[in-house]
Structure 1
Amino acid sequence: MSEALEQALAEALAHLLTSIDTCDDDVVDPDTAVRWTEHTAHVLDRLAPPDRRRLAVLFHDVARREPDGPWSEALHAIPASLGLDEDGHEHYCDAVEEHVARLLKTVRDADPATPVPTCPGWTLADLVRHHGTTHRWTDHLVRTRATARVRPEDIPLDLPDDTGAYADWLASSAEAALGALRSAAPDTPMWTYGADPHVRFFARRLLFEAVVHLADAELALGERPRIDAGTAADGIDEFLEYVPYVGRVAEPVAHLGRDGDVLRLRAADTGAMWTLTFGGGGFSVRLDGDGGATVTIEADTGELLLLLYGRYGAGDGRFTVTGDRTLLDAWLAATPL
C-alpha cells in the first residue's frame, strides 16, 4: 500500500467515525452508531500492535491538520475510542520494563569500567548512568505534564557515588518513570521532543532507548544482540518518525543534496521494506518496495535497526548492499543517534 493511499484511507475512516460519533440522534440511531463503532474496533483489534500504533499516529495526524476546535478534538479522541492508544501505551510500558530488566541482568555482575565500543569513550557505568538519567528526566516530564522543554541536567539524579550501585539506581529510576507513565492517560497533551505531543510518546521512545542500550551492553560484553523482529520493525518506524525532530540530524539530512534518490531497507527475515525518497529538505517514507532504488541494504530486521542507530557499520558482513553505496554512507553519516 502506498503512503498516499494509507493516509487517504485513515483520513476517510477518521472523519466517518467522527461524523457518526457527533451527529444528532435523529440522524443516526445511537444504538446503531455504537454498533458500527464497536464493529470497527473489533476489526482493527485483529491488527498487530505496530500496525495499531501506526493507525493511531495516522488518525492523530489527521486531527492535527484540522483547525483547533471541537472537530479536531473529536478526531484526536478516535484512537482512544477504538482502543488503539491505550493498549499500545501499556504494551510499550511492559516492553520497557522487560528490556530494562534484561539490561540490568547483563550489567549487574560486569565490571563498570568495561569499555562500550559502540559508544566511544563510554564505559558500562557511563551507559547505565545515561540510561538512568533518561528515565529520571522522563519521570519528571510526565509527572509535571511539562509544557516546555526541561533540560535533563536540571533534574535531580540522586546518583550514588559508587558505580557498583548504578544498577540499583537504574532500576529505581525506571520504576519511577514507568509509574508516572502508567498512571497517566496516554492521550494527555504535553511537551515532547518528537512528532506526538502526548504522554504516550515517552513510553515508545523509552522502549527503543532501552533496546539500543541493551545491545550496547551486550556487544561490550561479547554477546550477540537478539531483537524480536516485530519490536525491531516498530523501532525502525519510530526512528524514521523521530529523526526529523532531532536538530543535529535534520539539518545534515536537509543538505544531503540527493533529491530524488531512493534508499531502501529490506528485512531478510520478514520481507518488510522501508523506502526513503529524499527531497524538499528531508525525506518521505513508504512501507513498500515499489519502484527502483538508488541503493538497497538487506539484513534481518534487528540488524537494520542497529545499523540505523550506528551500532553496526554498513560494511559489516551481515549486510548486503546493492546500488550506489555513497547514498547509504551519506545517510548514515547524517543521522547519528
Structure 2
Amino acid sequence: MTLLTYGRYCDEILTQTDALRAHLDGADLTATVPTCPDWTLRELAVHLGGAHRWVGEIVRTRAQDDVPEDRVPGGAGPAEDGPAALDAWLAEGASAVVAALREAGPDTGVWTWSWQRRTAFWARRVTHETVVHRADAALTAGAPYAVAPEVAADTVEEWLRIVSFAQENGDPEAAELRGGGRTLHLHATDVPDAEWLIELGEDRFTWRRTHEKATVALRAPLTDLMLVMNRRLLPTSERVEVLGDAELLDFWLARSSFG
C-alpha cells in the first residue's frame, strides 16, 4: 500500500464528510462524544467544519504563515441554530476546502505545521481528520462505521508520521517512545500485507511494513486496528487481540495521545 493520490484524498474528504453528516441526521446533537468527552456531538461537528474552513483559507490564500482561526470566514459555526443549518454548513465547508485543494494542485507551497510545506500535506491531513472524527460521530450516534482498506491503512501510516514528527520536535510524551529495543507489531487480520513493525530504538522510534515477531502484537480487522491506534477503540475490546506485553501497547497509546 502507498499514499493515496491527491485526487483520491480530495474525493475522500467529501465522502467522509457526507458519511459524517448522515451519522448526525436525527441524532441527539447534545450527546457527549465518548471518545472526546469535552465535546457534544454538535461541538464535534463544529470543530471539524471549522478545521475544513481553516485549511481552505490557508490553501485559497496561499498563506505562508498560520492563519488565526478568528480570521477564517464562517469558521465559528453556522449562523443559525438547528440541525439543518449545521448540515448545510458542514457540506459547504467540505466543498470549499476541496475546491481550494483541487484548484491549487498538490505541489503549491503553503504554510503547514508539519514536515511538508505544500498542499499535498493538507489534502492528506484533512482526509484523516475527517475519517477519525467520523468514527467519533458514528460511535456517539450508534451508527455502523467502515472505511475502505487503503484509507484505513493510510490513516495508520499518517498517524505514525505525525507521532514521529512530534518526537523529532521535542514533544515530551512522544520523546519517551524509544529505548530497549522493544517492538510492536500491528497486524490487520482481514487485509493482506497490512502489517507494521514499530521499533523503539535508543534515540527514536521507527516503523516499517513487515511481518515479524514482536514484544507485543495487536491483531484486528484493519479498521479496528486503525481505531485502536487513534485511541477510538480500547485495546481490551473483544474486536481486537493483544498478544505479548500488553503494557507496552498501553505505553505507546498513552504517549501518542496528543493532537
After TM superposition, the score normalised by the length of structure 2 is 0.90
Residue of 33, 49, 60 corresponding to 1:143: 60
Which sits farther off after the overlay, 300-309 or 254-263?
A: 254-263
Look up the match of 1:282. Answer: 204
Superposition RMSD in Å: 2.0
Residue 328 (structure 1) aligns with: 249
Q: How many pairs were matched up?
A: 253
The equivalent residue for 1:111 is 28
Identity %: 36
Alpha-carbon distance in 2 for matches of 1:215, 1:134: 16
Q: Secondary structure of 2:104's match?
A: coil
Q: Taking structure 1 as reference, are residues 265 and 250 closer, same or farther at Cα in structure 2, changes over 3 Å only?
A: farther
Give the CA deviation at 1:232.
Answer: 0.5
Which of residues 201, 226, 240 in structure 2 aligns to 1:319? Answer: 240
Residue of structure 2 in register with 1:162 after alignment: 81
Residue 179 of structure 1 pairs with residue 99 of structure 2: yes
State the SS of the aligned residue for 1:260: coil
1:188 aligns with 2:105: no
Residue type at the aligned position of 2:104: A
For 1:52-91, what aligned pairs fall within 5 Å after superposition? 53=3, 88-91=5-8
- Aligned partners of 1:146 and 1:280: how far apart in 2? 38
Are the equivalent residues in 2 in contact too, given 1:191–1:198 (CA < 8 A)? yes
Amino acid at match of 1:324: D
Alignment of 1:95 onto 2:12: yes
Give the one of 133, 136, 148 matched to 2:50. Answer: 133
Residue by residue, what CA displacement relative to the aligned partner does 1:150-187 show, whole Å, maximum 9, x if unpaired?
34344232522414322211111111111110100211
1:253 Cα deviation after fit: 2.1
Amino acid at match of 1:244: S
Deviation at 1:249, TM superposition (A): 8.7
Report the equivalent of 1:29: none
Greater Cα radius of gyration, structure 1 or 2: 1
Which residue does 2:129 correspond to in 1? 209
Asked if structure 2 preserves the Cα contact closer than 8 Å seen for 1:243 and 1:249, the reply is no
1:18-29 aligned at under 5 Å gives the runs none
In 2 relative to 1, CA 318–262 (structure 1 residues): closer, same or farther, beyond 3 Å?
same
Residue aligned with 1:177, SS: helix
User: Distance in 1 between the 2:219 and 2:160 partners?
Assistant: 17
Q: CA deviation at 1:191?
A: 1.9
**Normalization by structure 1: what TM-score?**
0.70
In structure 2, the gaps of 5 or more residues are none
For structure 1, list consecutive stretches of 5 or more residues without a partner in the other structure: 1-49, 55-87
Of residues 215, 221, 233, the one that matches 1:294 is 215
1 or 2 for the larger relative contact order (CA 8 Å, sep ≥6)? 2
Q: Pick from 259, 265, 274 the counterpart of residue 186 of structure 2.
A: 265
| One of 214, 227, 245 as aligned partner of 1:306 | 227
Higher strand share: 2
Tell me how far apart the structure 2 counterparts of residues 215 and 269 of structure 1 sit (CA, whole Å). Answer: 19
Please give the residue correspondences for 1:239-250 in structure 2 after superposition, counting only pairs within 5 Å. 239-246=159-166, 250=171
Residues in 2 aligned to 1:155 and 1:246: alpha-carbon distance in whole angstroms: 26
- Are 2:182 and 2:215, in contact at CA under 8 Å, matched by a contact in 1? yes
Contact 1:249–1:335 (CA under 8 A) maintained in structure 2: no
Matched, 1:123 2:40: yes
